[in-house]
Amino acid sequence: MNVVIIGTGNVATILGRLLHFNGFQISKVVGRDIIQTKKLADLLMADCEVEIQNLNDEADCYMIAVSDAAIPLIAKQLKRFTDKLVFHTAGSVSLHSISLISSHIGVLWPLQSLRKEISQIPEIPCMIDANNEEAYRQLLVLAKAISKTNIGRATDLERKKLHLAAVITSNFSNHLFALVDYYCKTEKIPFNVLYPLINETFNRIQTQNPSKVQTGPAIRRDQETIREHEQLLEKFPQILNLYKQFTLSIQSKSE
């Protein structure tokens, strides 16, 4: 299958690498920045293009891997490819945002935090959808080159709900780690000794229900420890506020 990639960011780079590695021909990479576009095109042994209007319909499929806000703009700039597969890679953008481009449209959303500079690509679950079964069949072939075991079909609404879950799971937890790192540095205690605990916490919930393995002073109703923690956090009002909210939430959920 001959693929054109529109975009040069994290998702375009990682998915492009996986498709190229698994035998797909990346015929062209399209981007606004000539340096970044040529860099990715050279990596994928493809031609580069900075004028999206110059794209023709010679490829089998067209992957739009740009920011959510840029997808409608790209859709307006692209020529109509009629019967070629055109798909985007966003979790929160409707399938039908690109409906004017082709009669075969789809979404292939990699449910993973991706960075173009990583050498070891993590497992990437793929959520796909299409406006007809032929487009879905083609997307499934592409998805199997990206995820060997974890592929699902998800509607616009299901993807939005999953995207929300992903934001809370990844972005919010990382923000907590950032706050704890700041606390540790300020209090001159090592953050890295927490790595095994972090790993164990995430390993545990892969085999058990998170609510069943909740630990800590909040669920034990250990008010003395909770008061001591709150006193230690008086110099850190942002963390203290979160500590109180999480404590109440854990106790409410356990009831």
Q: What is the pLDDT of residues 77-110, one digit of tens each?
A: 988 888 899 999 999 999 999 999 999 999 999 9
Where are the domains positioned within the chain? 2-154, 160-254
Assign domain 2-154 to its CATH architecture: 3-Layer(aba) Sandwich (3.40)
SS3 assignment for the chain: CEEEEECCCHHHHHHHHHHHHCCCEEEEEECCCHHHHHHHHHHCCCEEECCHHHCCCCCCEEEECCCHHHHHHHHHHCCCCEEEEEEECCCCCCHHHHCCCEEEEEEEEECCCCCCCCCCCCCCCEEEEECCHHHHHHHHHHHHHHCCCCEEECCHHHHHHHHHHHHHHHHHHHHHHHHHHHHHHHHCCCCHHHHHHHHHHHHHCCCCCHHHHCCCHHHHCCHHHHHHHHHHCCCCHHHHHHHHHHHHHHHHHHC
Would you say residue 254 has pLDDT above 90? no
How confident is the model at residue 66, as a pLDDT? 96
How confident is the model at residue 255, as a pLDDT? 74
Q: What is the pLDDT of residues 111-133, one digit of tens each?
A: 999 999 998 999 999 999 999 99
* Fold for the domain defined by 160-254: N-(1-d-carboxylethyl)-l-norvaline Dehydrogenase; domain 2 (1.10.1040)
How confident is the model at residue 124, as a pLDDT? 96
Q: Do 160-254 and 2-154 fall under one CATH topology?
A: no
Would you say residue 148 has pLDDT above 90? no
Q: What is the pLDDT of residues 33-57, one digit of tens each?
A: 999 999 999 999 999 999 998 888 8
Q: What is the pLDDT of residues 204-237, one digit of tens each?
A: 999 999 999 999 999 999 999 999 999 999 999 9
How confident is the model at residue 104, as a pLDDT? 96
